[in-house]
Structure formats: structure tokens, C-alpha cells
Structure 1
Amino acid sequence: MPYVEFSYNPLSTIFINFPSVSRLQWHPFTVSSSSNLEPERLSVIMKKEGSWTQKLYRTLSEHATLDGLDVSVEGPYSPISENFLRYESVVMISGGSGITPFISIIREFIHRSNSLNIPTPNLLLICAFKNSMDLTMLDLLLPVSGNVSDLSRLNLKIEAYITREKEAPISDEQTMIRTICFKPKPSHMPISPVLGPNSWLCLAIIISTSFVAFLILIGILQRFYIYPIDKNTGHIYSRSSMAVLYLLVMCTCIVVACSVLFLKTKRENMKGAKQINSLDLPTPMTSPSSWYHCTGKEVESLPQESLVKATNMHYGRRPDLKMILLAIDDENVGVMASGPAGLRHQTAAICSSGLADNLHYESISFNW
């Protein structure tokens, strides 16, 4: 649970450590939530692939004997820019769990459309999955709260491709989502900035106060320590010793200023931690995959219905990215890709080929 005034941007990255899984391993994840839409939550998506996530899955599977799970978080680190907000249309292309960064973008547009009444661009989500079970990831487009998650006001279109299945599975069984909620402890702390919500102001205070304190202490040392030595002994105080003394005073001033602000912020966060004890998390009752497999059944809510209507299913093939992108007529189109390196390179090559002047590729990866 983040601090009340804690905010971050879409496409932000956090580093997570689970001491019960590994005390030394920190793994980066893209934030899938929106601080504007759900200010009390920060969520990420993890896929059970490597040894670290498999061990985490086994740990959570033993929830009957598990009374809690300690988590350490570093970040979030915001992206360099949010250029996707300035386009007339936004095309998001993902493969597998690469859909994660686009979930935060779509949730941000949900907030802008429903809460701020700001016109949003045309959104096209092209996602490829290996099998139908991975379609449950589309459920994450909808926040857990569901109170402002109406997709009907968004011009959103989803093209979902299932590459390893020729047709939709015929089954009346619904795969249930299992939600594990641990009872909050009084010792739990909300996720919050180390220097508080106004980090830049705190940094300015640290710099200014430490500089003033440095000047005052240097003046005191010069008058009552260095000057008497020069006057009484007739020898000039060692320049190297003076440099070391100045450096020591400067570091002391910075450490003291940082410690005061840190302790002040920590005291305020302790008050916010009391909110965790009253946190009430809803539990999903059905699997989102049933929205696509059992379309003949009644849809329970308007957000789910909007999501189903916006989704087109394609089985047994991959998306023809070149054909799809070149067929877009809007004048200013932002294109983003997330997933395997081959998918990102193919998308970037199409946008930079010169076949269409309206396509603008936006890299959201550290290694293009």
C-alpha cells in the first residue's frame, strides 16, 4: 500500500526483493497500476518462469501456513517522458507478459476519461499469447476497485492473438482466480518516498541548510581553532589538514540535514501505516478467461462487458504488424512495443521504413 500522497507515472519501474525467497536478488518490474486511478495501490505482474518466480509461487502456494510475506521495494523510477499522451492514436504491441506496461497506460487513460473528462486518443492494443489461459492477463486492464473503471468512454480496440491454438477451447468450466490476502501487521509500512512527497523541495532544503551550517562551522573553526594556532605558533596551519577538516565538516552537515528530514518523514509515514490495518481487499469471484470462452453467459458488469466488446480473438496465427500499422489513417500515431526483442525490432523497422509518415515509434525499453 503506497503512502496517501505517493504518486508515480505510467511505465514506471520498481525493484522488488522478497527476503523469504532470496535476500540478495532484486528484480525489476514495470508498474501495472495507476496512482491517479488507484492512489492506495501499487501493483506489478510477475510470470512464473525463472527459478526466482517459481520459488515465489511455491512460497505463496503454502499460504495455509504463511501468515505474511515481507517485501522490500526500491523506486518507482519514472520514464524519461510521457509522449504517448500527445498522439491522436496510440498503438500498443505486446507479446506475452510484455502487456504489463500497457496496462498502466490504459488505466491512466481510464482516469483521464472518467475522472477528468479529458478526450483520449484512439487506443489499439495488439497482444499475442501462446495459449488461451494467458488471456487472463487482459483482466488486469480493469482495476481491482472497479468503481471508475468503465471502459465504455474509451475508444479502445483489442486484437488478441493465440498462436498455439487453432480454435477456442470448448469447455464450460471456469478457471477460478485464487486471491491470497495476508492480514496486515502493525509493523507494516506503506510504500512512500524516503524524503516525503515533495522530494525536490526536501533536496533544496538539505542543500541550503547544509551549506549555511557549513559556513557557520567553518567560521567557528577558523576563529577559535585555526587562527589561534597560526597566531601563537607562528606557523601556517597545514593546507592538507585544513582541506580534510573542511571535507569532514561538509559531510557532517549533509548527513545531519538528511537525517533530520528522514526521521521527520518516517514519523509521518508511521501515521499512514495505521491505514493498513483497516485495508479491505475485494476478492475476484470468476476468472476473466471465462469472458472469452463462455460468451453465451451473462456478463456481470459494464466494465467487463465493455472489455469483451472491444476484444477480437484470432487463433492459430500471429499478427501481421506491417499490414495493421500501414492501414491506420490517423495523422499522428504513436507506436509502442513490449515483449521479445524480435517483436520490438520488427515494430521499429516498420515505423522507420518510410512507408508511412504518420507512424512514430516510442521506445519504452532500456535496450532498444
Structure 2
Amino acid sequence: MFRLLNIEFAASVKYHVWFGTGLIFFSLVHGGSTLFIWTITHHIEEEIWKWQRTGRVYVAGLISLVTGLLMWITSLPQIRRKKFEVFYYTHHLYIVFLVAFLFHAGDRHFYWVLPGMFLFGLDKILRIVQSRSESCILSANLFSCKAIELVVPKDPMLNYAPSSFIFLNIPLVSRFQWHPFSIISSSSVDKHSLSIMMKCEGDWTNSVYNKIEEAANCENKINNIIVRVEGPYGPASVDFLRYDNLFLVAGGIGITPFLSILKELASKNRLKSPKRVQLVFAVRTFQDLNMLLPIASIIFNPIYNLNLKLKVFVTQEKKPSNGTTTLQEFLAQSQVQSIHLGTDEDYSRFPIRGPESFRWLATLVLITVLTFLGFLIGLSHFFIPSEHKNHSGVMKLAASGAMKTAKEKVPSWVPDLIIIVSYVIAISVGGFAATILQRRRKHKEAPRMSKEVVIKPEERNFTELKPIPITEEHEIHIGERPKLEEIMSEFEKNLRGWSSVGVLVCGPESVKEAVASMCRQWPQCFGVEDLRRSRMKMNLNFHSLNFNL
């Protein structure tokens, strides 16, 4: 649905947070009001634990409310970012929440949310089917700032937009943990591989770093570290190309989406590119500047003609340990450990294929919906007879002699169970069909993949950045924080004529808030008359990119 409506995955997460918070708020108001009324009428102990034969089941409503609150609390940033696995596994209580909601609200109210349930269930099944396909790590680069660049093979037919991301699982570290990471490569440049970068700041990422390091130091070299991938997810189109100029602000590991954007801009396949690109990169230590190494050739080589200017701010150190004075010298002396783990055959054996086509998805939705309706009608007809008849098929007469319908009250949980059973069967059939269709796709594409001429990603020698005879335009500011208003004013002075500027930011919330505040305070014009009355040269268009969920 997001691909169809061209909604970014990160934006959908934001909408999910808003709607989820609203749902919990109104559920608290509803549940709290009911409990308050029962308390003042002295019926709370009698009503709260009662499982009604017909009508609303109050204890199910209490279970749904408590489960929703638990999911909401564990999704707060303080818990989600430090204990992602707690947030991830607790969120699977949505099954308990929805089943309890069905028993509490009844089947008639549940039909209002059933379409969304169908789309969610199908999406979950498709992600499970996709994640069962195995890939492998072709190579890895270990940076001194405890960051890792991982390269995995992909189908050359798989295209993704810059700033996309994937969910990654490495069974060697944990069979059940999945984590999102930004893609730093460009499908326009790297046809047969996909690269991500992770900063090792948690237990899982540190374990990945240690496993890769062990593989490099082991005498019996480990090949084919298996990984599982979901995605890529991200914008359906390259939206930033519509701007005349780009103003990029990154904090720490928030640089990763911009690495893919700059690689896309450096690609010669683009007819239209921004005229000027300003990148503001704030880090705590000099070692964190190593995250710029994947685009070092783009930064310093004039043949790409990006008109890129980089301002780096190192906030917590006063001087580099290696005595360098320029960004190029520092990156040239940076230590990177490159490790090759895969073989040429792995490009065709373990490619990431990505999401399926809309036609494929429409077929799967149709199969699932028809299965659900068939079982719902059949089971309802069998377990919920509408009227009781005698052996001759004539309606029983009431004692008074009047003809009346003798309809027995069926427990409310019976139609609820029928909905659950029909839904589970339909989703299972959809998953089975998805598995068959995916296997047919792999079998069909196997001959093409085996004959594909593999173009490996460019070999980068991180220790030999040859000096280029041009003026060093990139700046390093030590012990300072970026003054965004001054940088933007300087950027505006260098523009020729009026232009639209895409302001993209990725990093901690404090960085995003600072950039958003600057954009709100910056004077804007909305038409020809405003342009004539003002001396402004640009309109700012703010976009926030997420590097974590």
C-alpha cells in the first residue's frame, strides 16, 4: 500500500505512532470511565471479571487495554533505542490485543478494522516468506570508529531509491533479532551488490563486529556468513532530484542515508542533478570521520562535478591524534581493515531479490480474500443456524397459536471464533501461495542469474588517497558546533538567481529540531509577487530522514 501511494516507510512509522498513541489515549478514556462508573455504583468486582455469554465481554476489554498499554510503554524512545529487542518482542502482543478486542467489541464492530487486519496480515506473511531466503556477506570493512560496512549480493534487476534501508538478521549472532540499517550504496552504480553501515553501540552490533573480526583473524577462514534480509524499504522515487540545490545536515551515524544520495548524484545516469550541494557533518571525535571513507573519492575527485562543499564539525576533541590538518590528509591516514568473505559464485547463489511486483501482490490479496469469505460463510452456515425447524420443515408454533420464529441465542464467542479461524486459514493459504510463487520465481530466474556478468563493487584502497591539485574547499571546525543560520546565509550568497533548496537532516532529535527551527524562522516566499518584493534567493523545503526506527 505504501509503495502504491508513494509513502516512505519512515513516514508510515510516524503515522503508526500517531494513530497508536491516539488509540491508547481513547482506550484509556473509555476504560477509565467505565471503571469509574462501576466503582461509584459498587459493581466493579461483579462486572470486571464476568465473561458474558452474549454481548460485550468486559474482561476481554481489560486484557486488550492492559496489553495495549504495555506495547505503548515499551515503544517509548527511552526503551526502544536502548532495548530494541524488548520493544520488538513486546510488540508481538498485538495478537493478544486484537483477539481480546474482538471478544470485547463483537464481530459487528470488528468488521470495521478487518480490511486493515487483512493488509497487515498479508504484509507480515510476505515479510516472513522473504526473510526465509538466505544471503551472505561478501566483504566487510572495519573502521577504527567501531563502524562496519557490510556488502551483500543482490539481483541486478532490484532497484531502490537512495535513503532506503533494510532489516538485517545474522543467525551467527542471533537467530531471532532483526535490526534496521540504512543502505549506503546506489543501485545505479552497484548493480550486483548492496552495502550497509552500522555503528557498534549495542550488544548486537558489537557482537557482529567481533564475529567479523574473528573471521578475519582466524587461520581457517570462514566463508559464507549467512544473513537474512527484509526490504529494501524506502521512498518509491528519487524525490530530492526535484530541488535546484541541496542542504544536507547529518549527525554521527546519521550520515548513512546521505552516502547513498551522494553516490546517486555522482552516477552519470542522472540527467538532472542539483547545482550545489552543501553537507554539514557533526561528529564527536575525529575517528567518526572515517564514516566518510565510502565516498572519499566523490568528495575529493573533481571529475564527478557535484559542486559539493563539506563542513565538518568535531565537537569533543581539540586536535587529531595523527597531526593532520586537512580532511583529505586525515582520511588518507585512517586505518581500515578490509575482509573478503564471499566468492564470485555467491553473487548468483545468494542474491537479494527485494519486494514483489504489484501484480503478484494483487493476485495474493484476491486469493486470501476469497478464501476468507468462503470459510466465513461456510462455517457460519454450519455453526450458526438461523432458525430451528421440525422434521417436516414447518416452523414450530408458539403455545398461543401464533406463528413466531424460534431463534436460539448463540453465544457471542461463537461468531468471534469463526472470524478468527477463517482469518487464520486465509492468511495461511496466502502464505502457502506466496511460498509457491516465490519458488517459481527463483526457479525461473536461476538461468538468468547464472549467466549474469557480475560487475563487482569498486575496490577502494582507503590508505592511498592521492592528493589532488585543487584548493581544499572542505572545512574542519574543531571544538565547535555548527551555526546553521550562518552556514545557510553563506550558502544563499553563493546561489545564482532564485532556487528551491531541499533541506535534508538525519541524526539525533536535537539536530532535527535545530534544523526544523531554522527552516521555520527563515523567510519564505510563495509566488511571483513575493519574489519581486523581496531579495530572497531560495525557498527551503524541510525533510527529516530516520536512521533508526
TM interval, short-chain normalised: 0.7 to 0.9
Partner of 1:179: 338
Partner of 2:323: 169
For structure 2, which runs of at least 5 residues remain unmatched after alignment? 1-152, 396-406, 493-497, 526-538
Q: For 2:199, what is the secondary structure of its paired residue? A: coil
Partner of 1:159: 311
Partner of 2:482: 319
Greater Rg by CA? 2
Q: Is the 8 A contact 1:158 1:310 kept in 2?
A: no
1:54 to 185, 190, 206: 206
Q: Give 1:149-298 correspondences, 5 Å limit.
A: 152-163=304-315, 164-166=317-319, 169-170=323-324, 174-184=333-343, 189-193=350-354, 196=356, 198=357, 200-210=358-368, 234=393, 252=425, 255-256=428-429, 258-269=431-442, 271-272=445-446, 275=450, 281=456, 284=459, 286-287=461-462, 291=465, 295=467
Distance in 1 (CA, whole Å) between partners of 2:484 and 2:339 is: 38
1:139 and 2:300 are equivalent in the alignment: no
Partner of 1:130: 284
2:272 to 107, 118, 129: 118
Partner of 2:252: 96
Partner of 1:334: 502
Distance in 2 (CA, whole Å) between partners of 1:142 and 1:268 is: 38
Query: CA 1:74 to 1:361, structure 2 compared with 1: closer, same or farther past 3 Å?
Result: same
- Structure number with the higher helix fraction is 2
For structure 1, which runs of at least 5 residues remain unmatched after alignment? 300-304
Total equivalences in the alignment = 345
Partner of 2:45: none
Distance in 1 (CA, whole Å) between partners of 2:246 and 2:272 is: 16
Partner of 2:73: none
The residue identity in structure 2 corresponding to 1:141 is I
Q: Is the 8 A contact 2:161 2:237 kept in 1?
A: no
Deviates more, 1:351-360 or 1:1-10: 351-360
Query: CA 1:119 to 1:212, structure 2 compared with 1: closer, same or farther past 3 Å?
Result: same
Q: For 1:180, what is the secondary structure of its paired residue? A: strand
Show CA shifts across 1:193-234 (max 9, x none).
36x3x1x211211233455677889999999xx99xx99964
Q: Is the 8 A contact 2:278 2:310 kept in 1?
A: yes
Distance in 1 (CA, whole Å) between partners of 2:260 and 2:167 is: 17
The residue identity in structure 2 corresponding to 1:286 is N
Q: Is the 8 A contact 1:4 1:272 kept in 2?
A: no
Q: For 2:541, what is the secondary structure of its paired residue? A: strand
Query: CA 1:219 to 1:107, structure 2 compared with 1: closer, same or farther past 3 Å?
Result: same
1:348 and 2:511 are equivalent in the alignment: no
Q: For 1:328, what is the secondary structure of its paired residue? A: helix
Partner of 1:302: none
Distance in 2 (CA, whole Å) between partners of 1:222 and 1:48 is: 54
Q: For 1:349, what is the secondary structure of its paired residue? A: helix
Distance in 1 (CA, whole Å) between partners of 2:196 and 2:163 is: 11
Distance in 1 (CA, whole Å) between partners of 2:446 and 2:170 is: 23
Q: For 1:135, what is the secondary structure of its paired residue? A: helix
1:361 and 2:542 are equivalent in the alignment: yes
Distance in 1 (CA, whole Å) between partners of 2:254 and 2:175 is: 26
> How big is the shift at 1:55?
1.7
Q: Is the 8 A contact 2:506 2:547 kept in 1?
A: no
Q: Is the 8 A contact 2:247 2:501 kept in 1?
A: yes
Partner of 2:24: none
Query: CA 1:265 to 1:25, structure 2 compared with 1: closer, same or farther past 3 Å?
Result: closer
Distance in 1 (CA, whole Å) between partners of 2:173 and 2:188 is: 31
Partner of 2:182: 30
> How big is the shift at 1:312?
0.9
Partner of 1:21: 173
